[in-house]
Amino acid sequence: MAISQLSLTDFRNLKSTTLDLDPRLNLISGANGSGKTSLLEAIYILCQAHSFRSHQLKQCIQHGKPGFLLFGRFEGFKAGLAKNNKKLEIRIDGETIKRRSELVSRAPVNILNADIFQLIEGSPQKRRAFLDWCLFHVEPDYAEHWRKFQHALKQRNRLLKSRKDLKLLEYWNQHLIDPAVEISSMRREYSGAVENILTGEFGKVLSGIPLEINYQQGWPAHQDLAEALHGHREGDIRSGFTSVGIHRDDIVMTSEGRKVGEILSRGQSKRLCLALLLAVLNLVNKIRETRIILLIDDLHSELDREAQDLVYDQLLDMDLQLFISNIDSVAPGSLGAKEFKLFHVEHGIIKPRNFS
């Protein structure tokens, strides 16, 4: 779902403005500290209601201002988001919504920046979140299962910490198991689907590295979750938290049986992370049949020219609305005759420059 117009007021260092956006390709230039990442962040927040760089949205309020406003026209709907020190209000077509997921499901957005390279070296949480982004957008029931699981986990952990009413553990176990089993089977299925796409269509980006992707459940392989929860009961009571479940899952990547983190070179690891992103975007594109917004921030310093060309070639072939900061990063050859819009940012002032 592309965004055609963005208005922002009192957001970070950016001067309040309204921008008409290209449905396919938007390039953002500007010196360090001018506000390029802030512009990408505004788009991300308008689709996700949270940021990729601050835990608290109030950090995005322009210094000295009471709050920020974002407004966007998307294909088929309008979204508005108002944040001040006290509250966050999200509106779709003028109506205030209660659940963040109502906004998030509308316009899939993802960010490609240096953090993507954490997919291999980072914690399992990074890999789960990466795969779950895809599940959220392609599996209609995912969000509800996730919400139920989180609720049950929180209640179970509260009980374990308090060490009171421990007979209620059985009750919360069941509430935890039902959604966990659903999410676990989705993660297993989509790990396989990502492996297929990645080794097939995006094999070129991987440059011939053999790759296997396996879902690893967050409890012993030979047990079902009920048995595992039962088996860890005493330990969980001692430690005060739930030690087994889908919050301990991992997506394990190996090449000819060895963990990729141990054998791939730095360059190969980067290519693998990019190929993973391409595969997941491709999967969501195919199933949802909707345009995904992809924000690309400061990637050039991380990739050599050949890898850049390869990735931009693939991205431009997909049904995406791209926002790319730092246009030095874009290989002129891969942009060719395509139409795009260019925005130049100077001390927070965004100036559109039209090209075609």
Ligand X SMILES: Nc1ncnc2c1ncn2[C@@H]1O[C@H](COP(=O)(O)OP(=O)(O)OP(=O)(O)O)[C@@H](O)[C@H]1O
Q: Which does 34 bind (CB under 5 to 8 A by kind): Mg ion, ligand X, none?
A: ligand X
Minimum CB–partner distance for residue 126 and ligand X (Å): 22
Tokens of 355: 């090209």
CB 121 within 8 A of CB 65: no
Binding to ligand X in span 284-343, by CB under 6 A? 298
Say whether residue 32 binds ligand X (CB under 6 A).
Answer: yes
Minimum CB–partner distance for residue 31 and ligand X (Å): 7
Pick from 103, 99, 179, 170: nearest CA to 145: 179
Q: Which does 164 bind (CB under 5 to 8 A by kind): Mg ion, ligand X, none?
A: none
CA distance 275 to 118: 14
Cβ atoms within 10 Å of 301's Cβ, excluding its own: 9
Say whether residue 38 binds ligand X (CB under 6 A).
Answer: yes
Residues interacting with Mg ion, by CB under 5 A?
36-37
Tokens of 81: 């988001």
Say whether residue 34 binds ligand X (CB under 6 A).
Answer: yes
Cβ atoms within 10 Å of 67's Cβ, excluding its own: 20
Interaction pattern, residues 232-271, with ligand X; x per rule: CB under 6 A: ----------------------------------------
Selected from 35, 67, 72, 108, the binder of ligand X by CB under 6 A is: 35
Tokens of 66: 């009471």
Contacts of 243 (CB under 8 A, 6+ apart): 232, 235, 236
Say whether residue 16 binds ligand X (CB under 6 A).
Answer: no
Contacts of 19 (CB under 8 A, 6+ apart): 5, 6, 7, 343, 350, 352
Selected from 8, 30, 133, 303, the binder of ligand X by CB under 6 A is: 30
Say whether residue 85 binds ligand X (CB under 6 A).
Answer: no
Pick from 306, 316, 312: nearest CA to 338: 316
Window of 30-38, 130-138, 197-205, 265-273 that interacts with ligand X by CB under 6 A: 30-38
Minimum CB–partner distance for residue 40 and ligand X (Å): 8
Minimum CB–partner distance for residue 113 and Mg ion (Å): 9
Selected from 4, 7, 9, 13, the binder of ligand X by CB under 6 A is: 13
As to burial, measured by CB atoms within 10 angstroms (0-12 exposed, 13-18 middle, 19+ buried), residue 167 is exposed
CA angle at 64 for the pair 63 and 70, rounded to the nearest 5°: 65
Q: Which of 31/287 has CB closer to ligand X?
A: 31
Binding site for ligand X (CB under 6 A): 12-13, 30, 32-38, 60-63, 298
